[in-house]
Structure 1
Amino acid sequence: MQRQPEPFLFEKGPQAVVLLHAFAGSSNDVRMLGRCLQRNGYTVCGPIFTGHATGEPKDILTQGSPTQWLQDARNAVDQLRQAGHEQIAVFGLSLGGIFATRLLEEDSKLAGGGVFSSPVVSDHDTNVPKMFPKMAAHTYRDQHFDQDQVDQSVKWIKQRLPIQLGKINQFSSRVRRELSQISKPFFIAQGGQDEMISSQSGARLEKMLTSYGKKVDYYFYENASHVLTVNSAHHQLETDVLKYLTTIF
């Protein structure tokens, strides 16, 4: 069986960054960005959301929940504070961005942060219902399940996935309602060729935040797909995140 991804803590300087991964992803989503930030003097924490990266996609639905994932994100911040880091920023990719945004709403001691390709403000029109079962089937085949086992497991997932997606939508609605509570400059990155969420998601979030008088750094990568941290935009994203961090620390 393949070795599963693990959370990371890349230690360097006193200023620290939490990086939160995507739905059905892992710390590997943000590991490359984490190493870049470490090379530039930051300590970086990349947790793994409960139920993720276990080798069993069903765990995301049975062990995970928005409530639990928010706690996972809070725990990552607490871990850094207990290690003596007082200046902390938090960013999230896709689903992780919803929780990064929530932390910035509820924790005024954070220095800042933001989102990469995140459906904080969306019409709930995502490709997750189609893509997650496909990803799960691929995972099971990698583990040499026979086709009957794959079909049964994917059927189970398809039956239960809408319930969890509904809970995520409820949670993100609450986050949207409380955007005015954000007190620090906010970073938004969005790809123009996003295959998972609307490529307008970042612009909608920027519009809402600026309507509340918030300072926003908005970056649009016209030719980039969803996972900005590893795709064709990742070098530019790293440059833009580093530039933003110099303005908040």
Structure 2
Amino acid sequence: MKIIAPKPFFFDNGPKAVILMHSLSGTPNDMRLLGRFLERNGYSAYAPMFAGHGTREPLDIINQGGATAWWKQVNESIEYLKSQGKTEIYIFGLSLGAIFASKAVEECPEIIAGGIFGSPLYNKSFKNIRSAFLTYSEKVYALNELDSATIQTKLTEIDQRIDGFLAGLQETTDAVDEKLIDINKPFFIGQGKTDEMVDRNGAVKVDADVKTSEIHWYDAGHVLTINRAHKELSQDVLNFLENIEDRNA
């Protein structure tokens, strides 16, 4: 069976554009349902793919990615949408993407508003993310039909390198946390009640810091954009965006 590699997507539907940033072990495919929903409701949707993702080698994420590379991609995404004539730009991120979506709301004047889904903000440990990434890697290597010795060698390398890699992300996350209190743009928080990947109390702390925030709880787990909550989440995001427009009218 031929496996089609995931790709970034751009659903072009007018001057209002939403950037959608995926998770650490995800791809733009995880944002596609939300992107199509927004497109049907009058928004352009752009989901770039973080460097190192979309391949069948998890080590590419560690070798090619990281906070510096991914933040550069956020800025490139904004510039791309401006080059496409987009005059209103919003940004949302899932898990890893939430870190950089929040940073963009804090630092990029082009961003009108944004939000987070299953965010690791205010998480002081990435141990669950670490464990999940190793599990993800093992599954990918199994799909590649590698022999057990080769898989173990690769997993050992990931195990030896991932702590330093995640420490860099933790540093970026902490810096974003410190600036949340200064956000004065509309800010959406979506959090699953049964999310076991991140500390759910982090969403409460973000909501307390960001005076312009609105928090939404879902009877679902971590990947809100594709799990049982995805329709409710999509509608809530659309309502959030339309309310901003109403206030600015």
TM-score, normalised by the number of residues in structure 1: 0.95
Contact map agreement 2:103 2:176 (CA 8 A) in 1: yes
Match of 1:248 among 240, 244, 247: 244
Q: Write the letter of the residue equivalent to 2:214.
A: D
In structure 2, the gaps of 5 or more residues are none
Contact map agreement 1:190 1:201 (CA 8 A) in 2: no
Q: Provide the C-alpha distance between the structure 2 equivalents of 1:173 and 1:33, rounded to a whole number of angstroms.
A: 28
RMSD: 1.1
Q: Provide the C-alpha distance between the structure 1 equivalents of 2:142 and 2:182, rounded to a whole number of angstroms.
A: 45
Q: Which residue of 1 aligns with 2:228?
A: 232
Deviation at 1:123, TM superposition (A): 2.5
Q: Provide the C-alpha distance between the structure 2 equivalents of 1:35 and 1:126, rounded to a whole number of angstroms.
A: 33
Q: Provide the C-alpha distance between the structure 1 equivalents of 2:67 and 2:126, rounded to a whole number of angstroms.
A: 18
Q: Does 1:86 align with 2:82?
A: no
Q: Which residue of 2 aligns with 1:215?
A: 212
The runs of 4+ residues in structure 1 deviating greater than 6 Å are: none
Alignment of 1:199-210 (within 5 A): 199-209=200-210
Q: Provide the C-alpha distance between the structure 2 equivalents of 1:189 and 1:121, rounded to a whole number of angstroms.
A: 15
Q: Provide the C-alpha distance between the structure 1 equivalents of 2:122 and 2:186, rounded to a whole number of angstroms.
A: 17
Q: Provide the C-alpha distance between the structure 2 equivalents of 1:204 and 1:23, rounded to a whole number of angstroms.
A: 22
Contact map agreement 1:128 1:196 (CA 8 A) in 2: yes
Q: Provide the C-alpha distance between the structure 1 equivalents of 2:119 and 2:101, rounded to a whole number of angstroms.
A: 10
Q: Which residue of 2 aligns with 1:76?
A: 77
Q: Which residue of 1 aligns with 2:24?
A: 23
Q: Write the letter of the residue equivalent to 2:27.
A: S
Residue-by-residue CA offset, 1:157-177 (whole Å, 9 max, x unaligned) = 010000111000000011111
Contact map agreement 1:106 1:181 (CA 8 A) in 2: no
Structure 2 vs 1, CA of residues 182 and 108 (structure 1 numbering), >3 Å: closer, same or farther?
farther
Deviation at 1:125, TM superposition (A): 4.6
Q: Provide the C-alpha distance between the structure 2 equivalents of 1:80 and 1:37, rounded to a whole number of angstroms.
A: 16
Q: Which residue of 2 aligns with 1:179?
A: 180
Task: Tell me the secondary structure at the aligned position of residue 202 of structure 1.
Answer: helix
Q: Write the letter of the residue equivalent to 1:198.
A: D
Q: Provide the C-alpha distance between the structure 1 equivalents of 2:59 and 2:110, rounded to a whole number of angstroms.
A: 36
Task: Tell me the secondary structure at the aligned position of residue 174 of structure 1.
Answer: helix
Task: Tell me the secondary structure at the aligned position of residue 217 of structure 1.
Answer: strand
Q: Which residue of 1 aligns with 2:154?
A: 153
Residue-by-residue CA offset, 1:208-243 (whole Å, 9 max, x unaligned) = 22xxxx21111011x210000000111110110000
Contact map agreement 1:32 1:230 (CA 8 A) in 2: yes
In structure 1, the gaps of 5 or more residues are none
Q: Write the letter of the residue equivalent to 1:51.
A: G
Deviation at 1:108, TM superposition (A): 2.4
Percent of aligned positions that are identical: 37
Give the total of aligned pairs: 244
Q: Write the letter of the residue equivalent to 1:95.
A: L
TM-score, normalised by the number of residues in structure 2: 0.95
Q: Provide the C-alpha distance between the structure 1 equivalents of 2:204 and 2:152, rounded to a whole number of angstroms.
A: 39
Contact map agreement 1:126 1:198 (CA 8 A) in 2: no
